[in-house]
Amino acid sequence: MDEKNKKPVRIATYSMALLLTLIIIIVITFVKTAPTAESVRAEKLTKKDQLRLETFLSAYDVKPRVQRKLIRKINSGKTMDSLQDVAKPVKITMDNTAKKQQQVETFADGSIAVTTVTLNDTVTKQNTTSYKNTKVAWNTGIARAEFFADFTINGDGSDDITNVDHYTIESMIGTYQSDTLQLKKKRESLDGKAEATLNFKIVSTRSESKHWVKLVVGEDSFLSTHN
């Protein structure tokens, strides 16, 4: 075979090798980025998760009829209002005791979000009260997040948060990402109150929502907020 006839064969061989290389790169990229069973939960509730959700909702007097409606909504691929970062509650109730500060928000579809600050170890000396291992939590029944904090009420306009740690995030649907726990402002000042924030996203095939849970300390008081 002369040199002129060999040329197309070389070009064809090179093109085939290039094509195979591209296919291998695409396959490797897909394997690395594709969701796994460990990283993404099922898009429908298991019987166990459904029972957990019903137990949670019943504890806050959500009627069985509303519970069934919410479960149908979730299993049909939709997101509860309490997990949508743009949704606003239609009702807010507070229930505070010596050991717990609790806020329950009710949304238009009947779903709820419960935010609590649970006081564990408390020491008072003169005008200063120190709170250790305080649990700051947010729960919708489908997803929940919590962290622990130490803070002090000083009684002189300089309340502070001394430590934050041990955070937990869980979701029955999808998974969570971009999670960070930050002590954003340690001490109360003229610029504002002390603040610690747990940031995260809940991601599933149906939606993606950004959330944060905050502990705010200042003016001789404390509270927890979320979005």
- Domain assignment present for 24: no
Q: 123-132 burial string, b = 16+ CB within 10 Å, else e? A: eeeeeebebb
Range of the domain at 77: 47-226
- Domain assignment present for 14: no
> Which pLDDT score, from 0 to 100, does residue 135 have?
98
- Domain assignment present for 84: yes
- Domain assignment present for 99: yes
Query: Reading across the β-sheet that carries 221-226, which strands appear in turn?
Result: 175-185, 194-203, 208-218, 221-226
- Domain assignment present for 21: no
> Which pLDDT score, from 0 to 100, does residue 88 have?
96
**How many CB atoms are closer than 10 A to CB 206?**
14
Domain total in the chain: 1
- Does pTM surpass 0.85? no
Q: How many DSSP H helices and E strands does the chain contain? A: 3, 11
| Closest alpha carbon to 160 in 132, 137, 193, 111 | 193
- Domain assignment present for 131: yes
Strands (E), the chain: 91-96, 100-106, 112-118, 121-125, 128-139, 143-153, 160-171, 175-185, 194-203, 208-218, 221-226
> Which pLDDT score, from 0 to 100, does residue 156 have?
86
> Which pLDDT score, from 0 to 100, does residue 15 have?
54
What sign has the CA pseudo-torsion 151, 154, 155, 157? negative
> Which pLDDT score, from 0 to 100, does residue 111 have?
98
**CA gap 212, 124 in Å, rounded:** 30
- Domain assignment present for 29: no
- Domain assignment present for 87: yes
pLDDT tens per residue across all 227 residues of the chain: 544 454 454 544 545 555 555 444 443 443 333 333 333 445 789 999 999 999 999 999 999 999 999 999 999 999 999 999 899 999 999 999 999 999 999 999 999 999 999 999 999 998 899 999 999 999 999 999 999 999 999 988 899 999 999 999 999 999 999 999 999 999 999 999 999 999 999 998 878 999 999 999 999 999 999 98
